[in-house]
């Protein structure tokens, strides 16, 4: 039986990266009160929520061309920057109920029984 896997990897959002670096600089140039430790923490938190990486990870990834992630490094104790993974696109899987179990195939309804496909 073939089981589908979800191996999608999010690509960094260009606007999120630009905001992470330009917003603090532009606010600091105006002498704004938003460039306080609270303001910097708020921007950093927003970047982590949207990108799943810290601003320094995004900067390191842009400079090295590798996938840098502090959160992943702390979780699995591996290196900070790793070679980017190739995206794997899997073939579609079509599953049907049969007597006693579920069978999956690489093509829809291969035997022509007009069965209803299950997810």
SS (H, E, C) 42-98: HHHHHHHHHHCCCHHHHHHHHHHCCEECHHHHHHHCCCCEECCCCCCCCCCCEEEEE
Return the pLDDT at 114: 80
Beta strands 101-105; 94-98: pairing state: antiparallel
DSSP state of 104: E
pLDDT digits (tens, 9 = 90+) for 81-98: 999 887 888 889 999 988
pTM of the predicted model as reported, rounded to 2 decimal places: 0.45
Task: Report the pLDDT averaged over residues 5-27.
Answer: 61
Return the pLDDT at 34: 57
The domain limits of the chain are 14-82, 89-119
Question: Is the pLDDT confidence value at 8 over 60?
Answer: no
Q: In this structure, are residues 67 and 55 in contact, taking their beta carbons and an 8 Å threshold?
A: no
């Amino acid at each position: 039986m073939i089981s589908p896997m979800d191996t999608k990897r999010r690509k960094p959002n260009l606007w999120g990266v630009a905001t992470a670096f330009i917003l603090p600089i532009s606010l600091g140039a105006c002498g704004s009160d938003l460039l306080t430790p609270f303001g910097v923490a708020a921007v950093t938190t927003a970047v982590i929520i949207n990108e799943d990486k810290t601003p320094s990870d995004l900067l390191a990834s842009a400079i090295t061309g590798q996938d840098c992630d502090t959160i992943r490094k702390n979780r699995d104790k591996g290196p900070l920057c790793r070679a980017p993974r190739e995206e794997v696109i899997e073939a579609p899987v079509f599953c049907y109920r049969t007597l006693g179990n579920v069978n999956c195939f690489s093509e829809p309804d291969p035997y022509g029984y007009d069965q209803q496909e299950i997810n």
